[in-house]
Amino acid sequence: MLRLCYVIVVSLPFVVYYICKAHYIERHGDNFSEERRYKIARRCISIMMYNGRIETESTGQELLPKEGGYVMYPNHQGKYDTLGIMYAHPTPCTIVMDAYRSKLPIADSFIDLVQGSRLDKHDMKSQMKTILKISDEVKAGRRYIVFPEGGYDHNKNSMQDFRAGSFKCATKARAPIVPVAIIDSYKPFGVNSLRRVRTQVHFLEPILYEEYYEMTTQEISDLVKSRIACTIEKQLREKNKKAKVK
């Protein structure tokens, strides 16, 4: 939280400018393509990372489907997760966010800028409408980030249970599922320090519809979680080896 407050204070002129710009874009949406919106969003993220002394290493971009829509399913660690993934993701993508959290200052403007979706966790009927909306957009070629854990609770580099229902966004669209492993993403805004931090984002091999169409959402959930867990374990082992050498 210390770093988040520091970044907001240091970046205040940029924060005010981009919030105003986001509102302007929302009022004149037809004049701004998704590519242009995403470029502005990544510019905001880059400024925040520079002022916050945050670095993000990434791998696997070459594995991402070159055409069409898909849904990325990462593990969830903290407020920086979405920003790190978008920084590492070269083409436009957007996010599904809890409706309550999405109305908080800055987050509200950001999700409007990237034309994300808000999910009401307390209204089942609304949830189904949101899932169908996302599926239609993915069919049309959009790329979404969906956190199957639903939230985070100081779990750091460990994972909570995945919600099988979150995978309906991909199954209904018959779209590729891209597991994403994030590491140390809790540190930027979850550790009270201003020391330089480094996070990791790893895009894993996509799971195509032809591979999962006979599986239940629970089986898909277990498969995605296991692949992410294996990657996190491997990367942490390598990180520890390097630390010992130093």
Cβ-based neighbour number of residue 23 at 10 Å:
14
Q: How confident is the model at residue 18 (pLDDT cuts 50, 70, 90)?
A: confident
How many whole angstroms from its chain centre is CA 177?
14
Digit-coded pLDDT (tens) for 72-115: 999 999 999 999 999 999 999 999 998 888 888 788 999 999 99
Residue 25 has pLDDT above 80, yes or no: yes
d(CA 228, CA 225): 5
d(CA 51, CA 13): 12
Beta bridge partners of 59: 202
pLDDT at 8: 87
Q: What is the mean pLDDT of the chain?
A: 93
Digit-coded pLDDT (tens) for 141-195: 999 999 999 778 788 999 999 999 999 999 999 999 999 999 999 999 988 899 9
pLDDT at 246: 62
How many whole angstroms from its chain centre is CA 118?
14
pTM: 0.94
d(CA 237, CA 82): 24
